[in-house]
Amino acid sequence: MHHRLSEKVSHYLSDVKTDELADFLSALSHDYQSSETTDQEAEKRITQLEGIEKELKQTVSLISATLETSQEGVLVIGDDNQPVVSNDNFINMWNLNREWINNSSGRDIYEIVRVQLKQPSLLLEHLREVDAPSSATLKEYLLKDGRIIESYISHHVDAGVVWRFRDITEAKKQEEIIRFQAHHDALTNLPNRTLFGDRLSHALRKILRTDGKLSVFYLDLDGFKTINDSLGHMVGDELLVQVAKRLSDVLRDDDTVGRMGGDEFTVLLEDIEGHADVVRLAERVIDVFRAPFVLDGQELYITTSIGVSVYPGDGQTEELLLRNADIAMYKAKDQGRNNYHFFTSSLERLAKHRLSLETMLRNAVKNEEFELYYQPVLTLGDGIEAISLNGFEALLRWETKSQGFIGPDTFIPVAESTGMILPLGEWVLKAACKQARVWVDMGFPDIKIAINLSAKQFQQTNIFEMIIAAIRNAGIGFHNVALEITESMVMQNVHGSIEILSRLRERGISISMDDFGTGYSSLNYLKTLPIDILKIDRTFVKDVTESKDDRAIASSIITLGHNLDMRIVAEGVETPEQRDFLSSQGCDMVQGYYFGKPLPAKEAIAPYTNL
């Protein structure tokens, strides 16, 4: 018993460092040496000691398990500059081994860590910051092998310097990816609207110190929608990628190319000398589009229209420079595309007028301030005077309190560009069908209402259902409606157009192609399109009695349409001579001021109620 107790005392006095346990063991040794100590008391003390031993082992085991399962590397250096604790993650993170650590000082370990850093001096700064007890600091280390290690150091009064290391290389990569995606276009990898705006703002701040100039280009691809719709979005996306690469390659290293969205791109030109520099770079951009783009195994050509604004004359803020370049781009479109146009004060006045018109138009659509006028379409008989009412073309009119009548040529393009044409077009469809029902009830059962569809309206996925619903809700027959489309609308998506038009025609709705001869005039597609009526544009009718060429064109359209089993309507007939010529050529129907101007519904039908 005495030998066993002696071994326990010796073991704990040599291995255990805590003051409480040392005091307890000293007392136990003293009691053992006392003659008054009984075996029973000694055994009691041994049992207590074994309990403490068990608790210590459990605590050490728990601490060890915690350290080894931690995702962090841990190192503790005591105040005597000797390593106290280190886990395997620390060893592996810094390419060390256990035996070397056990035989090294804290200074040795710091040196091995320091030489692996890309900036070794950071470690010494870090150590100086935690020189005093109870201090702590956080740093990031970039290692020579490319890893990024986050280090948190705290100085404890009892334990010494405690290091916690975490490898954040992958986390930093993910942060960089997220940051890149937030500021770059996903398709082209070009700066997006946000990043481009930031760079423009930075360039403006910098230029204030140098009194220099910069320029902004706003680009829009000409005819991109036709390629996208006819060849598919995958081909369209590839075209945008190739455009982005060409723009990046042709411009200077310090210039920034961005994508605003869709087929719109922007360019920031810094450090320009003057107007000549901008012209030279604009022409260089135009030139990169001259070579064909190879898409899906075929060569395609596309052009661009560019609007140009220059600091400081065209604006001194990011918003103004971008807005004015955008305004100038639309002017370049209006002037025939495939060119560039500088911003001018007159363009700004036009833009303000357009903005005012847009605001008025939105309110007018909301409040249904529009009205339909109707122009008669008459059928020519065998004799020159043998004409009869076929129907009316519904024409949209807008009368404002402040500006009077605003023509469709003015407000329809604004409605198209803003998307307001969709609710407006739906209102026209419903209102025209309701008016047709009024005339059917008045005794015109076969009257036909010609309704113009806009390009955007025709592209709606639910356009078929919308048309059918409007006709049914009005309570008229499908034969009472003729839908007028244009060549350009059809050519944007030929196969889709054929499908929709065929379904409408199967219901008994007439399909009329308006302004024939002024668009693509593709005879290849004309023979496949489900068209009932061709309308000769007024430009060919205007001089038909004076111009040999116009007579030849009008006669050819009439012959072509009849050979394709179509009926022909001539627009813009204003004189009896024009009427006589068209009748002699076998034209089926006519409309124009000679027979009647567009009028409100009651006035338009009045001449025919007594026939």
Is position 361 within any domain? no
Which residues lie below 8 Å from residue 602, measured CB to CB, with a gap of 6+? none
For residues 549 and 562, membership in a common domain is answered with yes
Structure confidence at residue 426 (pLDDT): 93
Shared domain check, 211 and 222: yes
The pLDDT tens digits of the residues spanning 266-294 come to 999 988 887 888 888 889 999 999 899 98
Look over the chain and give the mean of its residue pLDDT values, rounded to a whole number.
Answer: 83
In angstroms, the CA 6 to CA 264 distance is 90
Residues 321 and 236 in one domain: yes
Does residue 607 have a cis peptide bond before it, meaning omega lies within 30 degrees of 0? no
Spell out where 460-601 has E strands: 481-486, 510-516, 533-536, 567-570, 589-590
Say whether both 17 and 93 belong to one domain.
no
Give the CATH number for residue 594.
3.20.20.450
Would residue 272 count as lying in a domain? Answer: yes
Q: For residue 412, is it within any domain?
A: no
Q: Both 220 and 143 in a single domain?
A: no
- How many Cβ atoms from other residues are within 10 Å of residue 3's Cβ? 6
In a domain, 98, yes or no: yes
pTM of this prediction exceeds 0.75: no
Residue with tokens 């008669």: 376
Tokens matching residue 389: 């009412």
d(CA 113, CA 94): 7
pLDDT of 35 > 60? The answer is no
> What's the pLDDT tens digit per position in 176-188?
878 777 788 889 9
Most confident of 409-413, 462-466, 528-532: 462-466
Model confidence band, residue 409 (pLDDT cutoffs 50, 70, 90): confident
Residues 220 and 249 placed together within one structural domain of the fold = yes
Can you give the pLDDT at residue 246? 92
CATH of the domain at 285: 3.30.70.270
| Overall domain count for the chain | 4
The CA dihedral of 79, 84, 87, 93, to the nearest 10 degrees, is 40
Is 358 within 8 Å of 418 (Cβ atoms)? yes
Stretch 91-107: mean pLDDT: 85
- Residue 192, token pair as written in the block: 């997006």
Q: Which two tokens stand for residue 587?
A: 């034209």
pLDDT of residue 448: 96
Distance CA 312, CA 318 (A): 11
Is residue 450 within 8 Å of 392, Cβ to Cβ? yes
d(CA 492, CA 227): 8
pLDDT of residue 46 exceeding 80: no
Task: Report the range of poorest mean pLDDT among 16-30, 53-67, 256-270, 495-509.
Answer: 16-30
Q: Is 404 left (phi over 0), alpha (psi -120 to 50) or beta?
A: left
Whether residues 90 and 191 share a domain: the answer is no
Domain's final residue, options 124, 142, 171 = 171
Q: Which amino acid is at 561?
A: G
* Residue 355 covered by a domain: no
- Domain with 482, as residue range(s), is 374-395+419-608
In a domain, 363, yes or no: no
Look at residue 306 in the predicted model and tell me its pLDDT. Answer: 93
Query: In this predicted model, what pLDDT tens digit does every residue of 477-527 receive, in sequence order?
Result: 999 999 999 877 777 677 788 899 999 999 999 999 887 766 555 566 677
Using CA atoms, how far apart are residues 370 and 354, in angstroms rounded to an integer?
A: 19
Examine the domain organization and report whether 552 and 452 are in the same domain: yes
Q: In this predicted structure, what is the pLDDT of residue 348?
A: 61
| 16, pLDDT greater than 50 | no
Do 39 and 15 fall into the same domain? yes
**Residue pLDDT, tens place only, 556-607:** 999 999 999 999 999 999 999 999 999 999 999 999 999 999 999 999 999 9
Q: How far is CA 567 from CA 475, 478, 502, 589, in A?
A: 26, 18, 17, 8
Please give the DSSP secondary-structure letter assigned to residue 251.
Answer: S
Domain boundary among 52, 67, 82: 67
pLDDT at 233 over 60: yes
β-bridge partners, 372: 396
Whether 427 has a pLDDT exceeding 90, the answer reads yes
- Tell me how crowded residue 64 is: count the other CB atoms within 10 A of its CB: 12
Query: Which of 146, 171, 196 represents a domain boundary (last residue)?
Result: 171
Rg, the chain, Cα only: 43
Q: Do 92 and 148 share a domain, yes or no?
A: yes
The answer to which of 103-107, 241-245, 510-514 has the lowest mean pLDDT is 103-107
Q: Which of 112-121, 132-141, 560-569 has the lowest mean pLDDT?
A: 132-141
**Same domain flag for 154 and 203:** no
356 occurs within a structural domain: no
Which of 343, 313, 315 has the alpha carbon at shortest distance from 328?
A: 343
Whether residues 423 and 557 fall in one domain? yes
Asked if residue 430 is part of any domain, the answer here is yes
**Res. 373 pLDDT band, cuts 50 70 90:** very high
Q: Which residue from 259, 278, 164, 151 is spatially nearest to 213, judged by alpha carbons?
A: 278
Is residue 53 very low, low, confident or very high in pLDDT (cuts 50, 70, 90)? low
Instruction: Give the CATH number, domain containing residue 92.
Output: 3.30.450.20
Reported as a pLDDT band with limits 50, 70 and 90, residue 131 is confident
Residue 374 host element (H or E): strand 370-380
CA 7 to chain centre: 80
> In angstroms, rounded to a whole number, what is the distance separating the alpha carbons of residues 151 and 141?
7
